[in-house]
Amino acid sequence: MRAILKTKAAVVGALMASTTMASAGDVEVLHWWTSGGEAAALNVLKQDLEGQGIGWTDMPVAGGGGEQAMTVLRARVTAGNAPTAVQGLGFDILDWGNQGALADLNEVAAKEGWDEVVPDALKAFAKVDGKWVSAPVNVHSTNWVWANKAVLDANGIGVPTNWEEFTAALDTLKAAGITPIAHGGQAWQEATVFDAIAMSVLGPDGYKAAFIDLDEGTLGSDAMKEAFDRMAVIRANVDDNFSGRDWNLATAMVINGEAGFQMMGDWAKGEFLNAGKVPGEDFLCFRFPGTTEQVTFNADQFMMFDQGGSVSTEQAALASAILSPSFQSAFNVVKGSVPARTDVSDADFDACGKQGMKDLAAAAASGNLFGSMAHGHAAPASVKNAIYDVVTAHFNGEYDSQTAVEELVDAVSIAK
């Protein structure tokens, strides 16, 4: 209910804001980068454009994972008033592209050689019928764990390398009176945790079969039940106030030592950096145990909505700024993600960023790179939302693991 009210308020706000639309020479950008770290990264883009004399009309819609932003977007498009540029993920981009709502970026893409430098995994979500329809900003991945180093050190905990070591660490923290896992109880956050848990239990082939191929046998397997059992262990290690908490507030619990770990995508690093924390000294980043060779990715892109006619000068300038190698480095250093181009140096990135770049390249080369289910890169929104519902209901104790598996099979088969 609260989520619906929140969304309604966001839509009304967005429609009101649309009456003060961007004027010629400006871009109106709809996005969900509203946390401290996200806003700091967005500023890099704003300043880049300002330097080119292009004004920025900001259209933020809070809500991690972008569900609320996508609701606002649909309302704006239905009202015949699409924003110039919109943050988008995976299958949502393809959906708008297939509807013919997006401008053709092929001219700027050809001039700047995007085809040669953007990896195939991203192109699959940026091009429709051979036409570039969005500009990739970054590559995030979801199978990370963030830890407070002082808390781990004080409790004699090293980086866990398997599920048993991880759960032993959780037990130690609990016994010490520290919240083992900082978590925000929102469906997309539970799905983000599930991405990593499912990958570690099902393995890469099983993850692909379940969430990309939507194979019934894998969705209904014993391994899937085991994944739900492990989600119940995670649930037993969060604090009492987790429900509804925003992801960045959960990150803050790790930053200030109230909690030991957070399982979250690498946008969490943006929060640590924004708080002046240093990787390796104040906080640790590591792949969720059992997923060190895999990467479940989500790439933020900016879709350029067709404003009637060909791509506008401002849209082309925005797209070109986003893909420039200097921006790709400057932005992603702050955001926590890694570049969407393969030819950007890792020199300016911190240890977690360097590892992220290395992991991504290695996973792509070894066939271990998969679109994130939780962040719209494995299956279309209808299926994603069906999985969200089951994972969240189980996390909140509505289903036991066996029921969750059965519900998952049914929900996906109805949604697909």
The CA distance from 298 to 300, in Å, is 7
Report the distance separating Cα 335 and Cα 200, nearest Å: 26
CB closer to ligand BGC out of 46 and 174: 46
- Asked if residue 298 binds ligand BGC (CB under 6 A), the reply is yes
- Does 272 sit near ligand BGC (CB under 6 A)? no
Closest approach, Cβ 107 to ligand BGC, in A, equals 27
Map the footprint of ligand BGC across residues 135-154, applying CB under 6 A: 140
What string marks each residue from 66 to 95 as x (binds ligand BGC by CB under 6 A) or -? Answer: x----------------------x------
Among the listed residues 194, 195, 189, the one whose alpha carbon sits nearest the alpha carbon of residue 244: 189
| Complex with ligand BGC: residue 41 or 151, whichever CB lies closer | 41
> Is there binding between residue 64 and ligand BGC (CB under 6 A)?
yes
Using the rule CB under 6 A, is 274 a contact of ligand BGC? no
From 59-67, 198-206, 234-242, 344-352, span contacting ligand BGC (CB under 6 A): 59-67
Count of residues of this chain found to bind ligand BGC when the rule CB under 6 A is applied? 11
User: What residues numbered 24-53 form the site for ligand BGC, per CB under 6 A?
Assistant: 32, 38
Least CB distance from residue 63 to ligand BGC, whole Å?
7
371, β-bridge pairs:
297
**In the complex, minimum distance from the CB of residue 340 to ligand BGC, in angstroms, rounded to a whole number:** 12
- Closer of 301 and 312 to ligand BGC (Cβ): 301
The region of 62-70, 201-209, 283-291, 301-309 touching ligand BGC under the rule CB under 6 A is 62-70
- Compose the 358-387 pattern: x for residues touching ligand BGC by CB under 6 A, - for all others: -----------------x------------
Using the minimum distance from each CB to ligand BGC, give the nearer residue, 114 or 247: 247
Name the one range near ligand BGC by CB under 6 A: 64-72, 163-171, 235-243, 393-401.
64-72
Q: Tell me whether residue 298 or residue 355 sits nearer to ligand BGC (CB atom).
A: 298
Q: How far is the CB of 64 from ligand BGC (least distance, A)?
A: 3
Q: What string of H, E and C letters represents the secondary structure of the chain?
A: CHHHHHHHHHHHHHHHHHHHCCCCCEEEEEECCCCHHHHHHHHHHHHHHHHCCCEEEEEECCCHHHHHHHHHHHHHHHCCCCCCEEEEEHHHHHHHHHCCCECCCHHHHHHHCHHHHCCHHHHCCCEECCEECEEECCEEECCEEEEEHHHHHHCCCCCCCCHHHHHHHHHHHHHCCCEEECCCECHHHHHHHHHHHHHHHHHHHHHHHHHHCCCHHHHCCHHHHHHHHHHHHHHCCECCCCECCCHHHHHHHHHCCCEEEEECCCCHHHHHHHCCCCECCCEEEEECCCCCCCEEEECEEEEEECCCCCCCHHHHHHHHHHHCHHHHHHHHHHHCCECCCCCCCCCCCCHHHHHHHHHHHHHHHCCCEEECCCCCCCCCHHHHHHHHHHHHHHHCCCCCHHHHHHHHHHHHHHHC
CA separation for the pair 90, 128 (Å, rounded): 12
Q: Which of 48, 92, 300, 359 binds ligand BGC (CB under 6 A)?
A: 300
- Region near ligand BGC per CB under 6 A, out of 58-66, 193-201, 255-263, 324-332: 58-66
CB nearer to ligand BGC: give 65 or 97.
Answer: 65
Residue type, 40: A
Residue 60 or 204: the one with the smaller Cβ distance to ligand BGC is 60
Stretch that binds ligand BGC, among 49-57, 63-71, 90-98, 286-294 (CB under 6 A): 63-71
- What does the binding site for ligand BGC look like in residue numbers (CB under 6 A)? 32, 38, 64-66, 89, 140, 267, 298, 300, 375
